[in-house]
Structure 1
Amino acid sequence: MLSADFWDRTLQNWQSEFLAIGCMAIFGVYLRQRSSPESKPVGSEHQATDESG
């Protein structure tokens, strides 16, 4: 069937993908919380943006 080496490499690949996605999500939340000019306030209308940036 499939070797242990195959499963080892597959799990390592998944771990790196989850780490990358997690870092992007955390960085996105960080930028949102520090009032990045590219982010609109939570709950505001679609047209509302921060024009001061």
Structure 2
Amino acid sequence: MADHEGQQLTPREMVRAHLPIVFDLIKTGSLVVIATTGIHFISVITSMKWLMMG
């Protein structure tokens, strides 16, 4: 935080400074979980389809 050099941040300012980063990390993690679940779901459906055919 270049604009706060040599200055002690209050707990509230510390939270407000890092909140967007935390939200971005949560959002990215959620998207990874959703994508992984979708890929797994598609592979299960495909394997079930192959089992039913043969």
TM-score > 0.5, shorter chain as reference: yes
- Which stretches in structure 1 are left out of the alignment for 5+ residues? 36-40, 42-49
Counterpart CA distance in 1 for 2:26 and 2:37 is 16
Distance apart, 1:18 and its partner CA: 0.3
Q: Name the structure, 1 or 2, with higher relative contact order (CA <8 Å, separation 6+).
A: 1
Q: Whole-Å Cα distance in 2 between the matches of residues 17 and 24 of structure 1? A: 11
> Larger radius of gyration, structure 1 or 2?
2
Identity of aligned residues (%): 8
2:41 alignment counterpart: 26
Structure 2: gaps spanning 5 or more residues: 1-13
For 1:33 and 1:11, the matched residues in 2 are separated by: 33
Correspondence for 2:21: 6
More helix by share: 2
TM-score by length of 2: 0.61
If the length of structure 1 is used for normalisation, what is the TM-score? 0.62
1:15 aligns with 2:30: yes
Q: Which ranges of 4 or more aligned residues in structure 1 deviate by more than 4 Å?
A: none
The number of equivalent residue pairs is 37
